Amino acid sequence: VRIAVLGTGNVGATLGRRWSACGHDVCFGSRDAGQPRLQPLLKQTGCRACDWPAAVEQADAVLLSVPWKSVFPVLQQIAGVVRNKVLIDCTNPLNASFTGLEMGFTTSAAEQIAERVPDARVVKAFNMVSAATMADPQYGAAPATLFYCGDDAESKAVVHGLAEGIGFSPVDCGPLSHARLLEPLAMLYIHLAFHGWGSHCAFQVVKRSGSFLPTETEDDDC
Amino acid sequence: VRIAVLGTGNVGATLGRRWSACGHDVCFGSRDAGQPRLQPLLKQTGCRACDWPAAVEQADAVLLSVPWKSVFPVLQQIAGVVRNKVLIDCTNPLNASFTGLEMGFTTSAAEQIAERVPDARVVKAFNMVSAATMADPQYGAAPATLFYCGDDAESKAVVHGLAEGIGFSPVDCGPLSHARLLEPLAMLYIHLAFHGWGSHCAFQVVKRSGSFLPTETEDDDC
């Protein structure tokens, strides 16, 4: 997959590194592709950097991994070139102190993003896992779960593959509006991380076989 | 712990059974404590049933496990007797089709409940695990996580103990307002359960030791 990674913070750099190591064609999108502090990352990964629109133009899938405050300015720059591309939204609409979300319930960052670039195929993913988990999703015998949601089956399959390829256990969580569930999940993760759990923690969905038959005589409302 | 279990559906009946089997003193609160369809549960557990206020009056901790539509009517009946008691809210403000929540982001069911009975000590818990998981929280080598939140440390410790005592791995998720995060988590669970995961699935928080040092040169906003 040709991937444009927009934002070279911990999240973008880590996923870009890992996807590149898997053989995907990764281009980092940057405000200033020539800036010296990008050089170690480019040297290490062998990837190139371009400005945001040029990176998107060459890509099949785009990872939006800039801070929340930069999301709309970046979208404005790539709006003309993101048509039909898979846009992976791993942002969270965090407030300035990282203690809460700026929106929810009736909307979500992912839906706001999809509204701004309606011809992109937005998939919410990678927003509730730390960069440490992205670097290595394995926890003991099982990988961390990668929850994702979106309205387009084909682009969800792309994201599913990209997540599985770097070791996650991807779980389809339904339509894009379920970003209203996945962004609070990220907030829960952030709270736990800041309160003793650290960045080496993650969520898993676990499943077992079994039968449990409710008694017919039982009624919630008795 | 003397526990009043209000509601004898799958959730109330299962938790009541398990707590009773652990040696806690469980009384089921029911609209009609003498109704015949309660008898199998009472016979099986050896517990008694009372009307809602009588059950609450005798208890240290109260499990509110009636359907969302019945929550406020029940609270009205117990408002006079719930003072200083631990009120465990395992409800979810589900819409009629179970496809979404009726509130969120700026409030939560737990906070609405705490507003109605301000002298109770509300703890949100057991809302994101199925009755099947309550019956047996173990998934392979590790138990399901029981997320809880509340504003009173002492009552959270009671809930922590009640969860741990029946085999859950309890995780403190902060203040009661974080029910705004735990109710969407329940909605996510319900979506997964209805879309192939079934009732024998649950969430776990996993943790490992490890160090992951972000590169100083990396900047999200490059």
What SS3 state is found at A218?
A: coil
Token pair for A43:
């040297």
Residues of A in contact with B203 (CB under 8 A): 203-206
| Cβ pair A217:B173 closer than 8 A | no
Phi, psi of B72 (to 5 degrees): -70, -40
CB within 8 Å: B9 and A191: no
pLDDT for position A153: 98
Q: What is the DSSP letter of A143?
A: E
Identify whether the C-beta of residue A24 lies closer than 8 Å to the C-beta of residue A1: yes
pLDDT at A211: 72
Query: Which pLDDT belongs to residue B220?
Result: 54
Higher pLDDT, A218 or A195: A195
Q: Do B192 and A184 touch (CB under 8 A)?
A: no
Q: What is the pLDDT along chain B (222 residues), one digit of tens a residue?
A: 999 999 999 999 999 999 999 999 999 999 999 999 999 999 999 999 999 999 999 999 999 999 999 999 999 999 999 999 999 999 999 999 999 999 999 999 999 999 999 999 999 999 999 999 999 999 999 999 999 999 999 999 999 999 999 999 999 999 999 999 999 999 999 999 999 999 999 999 999 998 765 554 444 554
Nearest to A214 among B10, B67, B70 (CB): B10
Q: How far apart are CA A143 and CA A141, in angstroms?
A: 7
Residue in chain B closest to A9 (alpha carbons) equals B220
Query: Nearest-CA residue of chain A relative to B107?
Result: A105
- Closest partner CB to B203 (pick from A7, A181, A205): A205
Instruction: Say how far residue B195 (Cα) sits from the centre of its chain.
Output: 23
Beta carbons within 10 angstroms of residue B53's beta carbon: 16
CA–CA separation, A171 and A147 (whole Å): 5
Enumerate the residues of chain A whose CB falls inside 8 A of the CB of residue B103: 105
Mind telling me how many Å the CA of B154 is from chain A's nearest CA?
A: 18
- pLDDT-derived band of residue A210, with 50, 70 and 90 as boundaries? confident
For testing the chain B interface, which of A32, A92, A169, A212 should be mutated: the one with the most B CBs within 10 Å? A212
Compute the mean pLDDT over every residue in chain A, rounded to the nearest whole number. Answer: 95
Q: Do B140 and A178 touch (CB under 8 A)?
A: no
Q: Are A105 and A187 in contact (CB under 8 A)?
A: no
Residue B206 has its nearest CB partner, among A11, A136, A202, at A202
Percent of chain A clearing pLDDT 90 (strictly above):
94
Alpha-carbon gap: B221 to the closest alpha carbon of chain A (Å): 6
Estimate to the nearest angstrom the gap between the alpha carbon of B130 and the chain centroid: 10
Q: How many CB atoms lie within 10 A of CB A84?
A: 11
**Burial classification of residue A43, based on how many CB atoms lie within 10 Å of its CB (0-12 exposed, 13-18 middle, 19 or more buried):** exposed
Chain mean position to CA A180: 14
Taking the mean position of all CA atoms in its chain, how far away is CA A127?
4
Average pLDDT, integer, range A87-102: 96
Q: Which of B69, B82, B181, B73 is nearest to B124 (CA)?
A: B181
pLDDT for A217 beyond 50: no
Per-residue model confidence (pLDDT) at position B165: 98
Q: A5 near A65, Cβ under 8 Å?
A: yes
Give the separation between CA A130 and CA A10, rounded to whole angstroms: 9
Q: Which amino acid is at B217?
A: T
A44 contacts on B by Cβ (under 8 Å): none
Task: For CA atoms A133, A136, A141, A144, give the dihedral sign.
Answer: positive
What is the model's pLDDT at position B210? 81
State how far the Cα of B191 lies from the Cα of B188, in Å rounded to an integer.
5
B217: burial class by Cβ within 10 Å (0-12, 13-18, 19+)? middle
Given an 8 Å threshold on Cβ–Cβ distance, is A220 in contact with B144?
no
Task: Show residues of chain A in contact with B8, CB under 8 Å.
Answer: 218-220, 222
User: What tokens does B176 get?
Assistant: 């009661």
Residue A65, SS3 per DSSP: coil
- For A50, A63, A93, B100, the CA distances from A71, given in Å and listed in that order, are 17, 12, 10, 27
**Structure confidence at residue A125 (pLDDT):** 98
Contact call for B200 and A209, based on CB within 8 A: yes
Give the tens place of pLDDT for each residue, A34-61: 999 999 999 999 999 999 999 999 999 9
Side-by-side strand order, sheet with A48-50: A48-50, A25-29, A2-6, A61-64, A86-89, A121-125, A145-150, A169-172
What's the pTM value of the predicted model, to 2 decimals?
A: 0.95
Choose the closest CB to B41 out of A66, A174, A218: A218
